[in-house]
Structure formats: structure tokens, C-alpha cells
Amino acid sequence: MYAKIHSLSFSYHDRAQTGQLLTRATSDVDMVQRFVGTAFINLISAILMMVGSVVLLFVTDWQLALIMLLLVPLTLGIVAVLARKARPLFMRIQQQLADLNTILQENIVGVRVVKAFARESYEQARYAAANRSLFALNMEVGRLMAIAIPLVFLIANLSVLAVYWIGGYQAIAGHASVGRLVAFANYMMMAFFPMLMLGMIVTMLAQAGASAERIFEILDAQSEVEERPDAVPLPPVKGRVAFEHVGFRYFSSGPPVLEDINFVAEPGQTVALLGATGSGKSTIINLIPRFYDVTTGRVTIDGYDVREVTLESLRRQVGIVLQETTLFSGTIRENIAFGRPDAPLDEVIAAAQAAEAHEFITALPEGYETVIGERGTTLSGGQKQRIAIARALLLSPRILILDDATSSVDYATEARIQRALERLMVGRTSFVIAQRVATVVNADRILVLDRGRIVAQGTHAELLHESPIYAEIYYSQLET
């Protein structure tokens, strides 16, 4: 299931709630495990014991055994009703638990925002409400069990009463022995006990069934980005990236986010993407490592359509710094070496130097072995970004993508990173997204985007003459 969660595409995770995935991966798995581990074994012994006792009942006194036979369907009927009612209830319980976990997870991750906006009491009330719903659902299950289980007991006791009543008359009349009667009553209890157990097991089965259904929803989920069965590994590339009439929507009913995108990045070129926020810059670069599939047209690398090659061989050759930096708890060295855990320290240091991170790392008390907090919370925004750049550079990828990777660092540092990249990226293709024109003036090709379309492309000098939008962006930033 964990592997499956990893294999699902970005679009799946765009929609999925973390709390749902967490609950399914923990609580639901636990329910199934509990059933398989205990109830299933008890089920076998319950069936054996029931069959054995019924056989003994008939051997002891077949006439009295008929009483028992009348009551068995009644008991099984109660068990069946219990199971039918319990399953949808358990489904709702797991759903409610997931909702509760979603609130919990969101609030723990966002605890700083909650506190900053003084929304603690509101969020606590929201959690309490979800918690009360969960409690109410569990109470409903409890009530169901509180009726069903004693009912089975009642039937068992009434039948013992009937046996003593009828058998008693026979014994008094001298037709049967008292010893046989007592033995019979004991066998009878032995036959009812497994039925009671069956009631418990059936409830657990209902619970496990509901959870299994939720687990299979994940296991059966279709990833929108699937490797073709005949996918070939992408051989080491030179880095010619081409977009041919690419159109894209995030979901089929949604608006087109990209329309008719055409450009070619030759190996060794630096391509810059410029445009207003929401114009589709990140969307374009997400299509190169195939985080999403194009809706129309195609994206090729060295002539290979990215949909024809294996995902791993493709992504191994693309170094990417995403717009939102995500680090993991662990040491700085482990974070930089995330893509190549066996990289020697000097390579880690070289990558950090190119990303202008070496200096601040060595100033930390434990240097590269400094443990950073979850998601890198103990670092500043610009420090996190530079670690993310070093992480991408360590792969020494043929294609490097920097999505707003220097937005949190100052001008001077950004300029130094740029110079290092120019050195490192010789012969490799890089894509740079930046808000500042100054970052992109030296690019070999600048793509100017406006609402999902490329409205101009060329070098800085060309665009300054030809593209009013570019000129406007340039001069407005120049003034400030």
C-alpha cells in the first residue's frame, strides 16, 4: 500500500487528503490485521466446536436435539442482521476517523498559522465536533452489540430451560436418565458458545470488510501517469527538450491551463520562463519530468516522447528544485544527498558550494551533520532553498529545473548562485523560473507567458524590442 501511494501521480495527491491516506495506512490496515490474526483462527475453532457439539447432541438424544435445531436458524438470523447493520456503521466510523485525522494533521502542520491568527479555540471546537461524531457512531455499534449478544444468550438459556423441562418429565417418567439429561444440557451450551463467538467474529468481519474496501480503493486507484508496458529506459541524454503544440488541463472538466506551447531548448541552453503569477510557468516545467501528462501535443527529450520511457530513467536525469521547498528531518548532509545517498562528502560539499550554502552550513555548530527539524523548520527560507538547489545539483543532471529557486535569497547571493550554475551547467540544459528580470537577462532563450500561452520568445535584447509585455516587465522592475 505504501508503494502504491508512492506510485500514484501528482494529480492523485492533488486531490487526496493526507488524513485519509494516513488513516487507511494505519487504522484500516490494523482492522484487517486484527481479523486475519485472531478472528479468522477463532472462526475455524468455532465452526469445529459447533459441528462437534451438534453431532454429540444428536447422538445423546435426537428428539431433544430437534429443539436445538429449531433455535439455530433464529440465532444465525440475529448474527446475520448484526453483520448487515454493522458493516455500513464501521464504514462510517473509519470515514469519520479519517476526517478527524485530517483536522489533526492539518492543524499540527499548520500550528503556527493557527496560533498566529489566534484560532486555537475555533480549531479545538472543530476537532471536538468531529470527535463527538466519532463517539456517537461508536456508541451506535455498542448499542447494536448490547442488544444482539444478550439476545443470543437469552435464546441459549431458554433452550436449556426447554431441555430440562421436557427432559425432566421424561426422566421422572423413567424414560431417560438424569445423567444423559445433564450431559445434553452441557453439549447444548457448548453449541451455543461458538454461535456467540460467531456473532463477535461476524462483527469483526464487518469491520475488516469495511476497512479492506477502503484499502482496496487505494490499491485499485489508477495513476494518471502510468508507465507504458513497453516503456524503454531513456538512455543518457544530451538534453534537447522540445514542446510540440502542448495543451494542458489539470482535470478534464477544468479550464485549459496551457495552450499550444511550442519551444525547443537545445542542449546546453538556459531557458528562462517569465510571466505573471498563475500564467502557467510551474505547469510547463511539471510536464518535463512527467509529473502530469499533456492533454494534447507532446513533450520530447532528445526525440523521445516522455510517455514512452520509464519514469525512473527519465526522472533520474532531471534535477528539480520545486517552488515549495520540502526537506526531511535528518542531517543536512542526508538532505543534500537525498537523490544519491552514497555520494561522498566532498561531492556533497561541492554541490553545497555551488548553491552558496557551504558557508552557512559550516557556520552551524555541527556543520553538515546538523540535524534539521521536520520539513526543515529550523532553517531560514533562503537556507532551505539553497539546500534544495544543492540537492538537485548533486545529481549532476543533464536537465536542471529551478522553479523560483532563488526567490528567498538576496540579490548578491542569487548572482553568485547564477555564476556557479553557469559554470556547472555548461553542456546541460537548464530551465529557470524567476520573478526578477535580472535573474534571466543572460538566458539563451526567454519564454514570456501570459495566461497559458507563450506570447513572445527570444533573447533579452530581441524581446526588449519585440515584446511590449516583456519591455513592460523589464522597465517596471528597472525603476524599482
Ligand X SMILES: Nc1ncnc2c1ncn2[C@@H]1O[C@H](COP(=O)(O)OP(=O)(O)OP(=O)(O)O)[C@@H](O)[C@H]1O
Please give the residue ranges that form the binding site for ligand X (CB under 6 A).
Answer: 14, 250, 257, 275, 277-283, 323
Which alpha helices (H) appear in 173-258, and where do they start and end? 178-219
Which does residue 319 touch among Mg ion, ligand X, none (CB within 5 to 8 A, set by kind)?
none
55 vs 218: CA distance, rounded Å: 45
| 23 or 282: CB nearest Mg ion | 282
Minimum CB separation of residue 248 from ligand X in Å reads 9
Smallest distance, Å, CB 280 to ligand X? 4
Nearer to Mg ion among residue 149 and residue 276 (C-beta): 276
CB closer to ligand X, 208 vs 409: 409
Q: Of 199 and 275, which CB lies nearer to ligand X in the complex structure?
A: 275
Picked from ligand X, Mg ion, none, the partner binding residue 14 (CB below 5 to 8 A depending on kind) is ligand X
**DSSP result, 247-287:** EE-SSTTS--SEEEEEEEE-TT-EEEEEESTTSSHHHHHHH
> Which residue type does 381 have?
G
Residue 117: CB minimum distance to ligand X, A: 23
Closer to ligand X at the Cβ: 57 or 294?
Answer: 294
398 binds, among ligand X, Mg ion, none (CB under 5 to 8 A by kind): none
What stretch of H or E contains 432?
Answer: strand 429-433
Count other C-beta atoms under 10 Å from residue 341's C-beta. Answer: 8
DSSP H helices in 228-380: 281-287, 311-315, 332-336, 345-354, 358-363
Nearer residue to Mg ion within complex by CB, 323 or 353: 323
Q: Which amino acid is at 332?
A: I
Say how many Å lie between the first and final Cα of the chain, rounded: 52
Residue 304 contact partner, candidates Mg ion, ligand X, none, CB within 5 to 8 A by sort of partner:
none
Nearer to ligand X, 283 or 467 (CB): 283
Question: What, of ligand X, Mg ion, none, does residue 257 touch, CB below 5 to 8 Å by kind?
Answer: ligand X
Please report, as ranges, the residues that interact with Mg ion according to CB under 5 A. 282, 323
Q: Which does 280 bind (CB under 5 to 8 A by kind): Mg ion, ligand X, none?
A: ligand X
CB of 469 to ligand X, least distance (A): 14
Of residues 315, 303, 300, the one with CA closest to residue 246: 300
CB of residue 344 vs ligand X: minimum separation in angstroms? 35
Shortest distance (Å) from residue 356 CB to ligand X? 22
- Closer CB to ligand X, residue 14 or residue 120? 14
CA atoms of 454 and 97, how far apart (whole Å): 46
Shortest separation between residue 403's beta carbon and Mg ion, angstroms: 6
What distance in Å separates the CA atoms of residue 146 and residue 8, rounded to the nearest whole number? 42
At its nearest, how many Å lie between Mg ion and the CB of residue 78? 60
279 binds, among Mg ion, ligand X, none (CB under 5 to 8 A by kind): ligand X
* Dist CA 33 CA 369 (whole Å): 39
* Cβ count near 351 (within 10 Å): 26
**Residue closest to Mg ion when measured from CB atoms:** 282
Write the single-letter amino acid at 338: F
Backbone angles phi, psi at 31, to 5 degrees: -60, -45
Which one of ligand X, Mg ion, none interacts with residue 391, CB within 5 to 8 A by kind?
Answer: none
Amino acid in position 392 = A
As a whole number of angstroms, the distance between CA 395 and CA 389 comes to 10
CA distance 400 to 313: 15
Q: Which does 277 bind (CB under 5 to 8 A by kind): Mg ion, ligand X, none?
A: ligand X
Cβ 24 to ligand X, closest distance in Å?
Answer: 22
Nearest to ligand X of 340, 436 (CB atom): 436
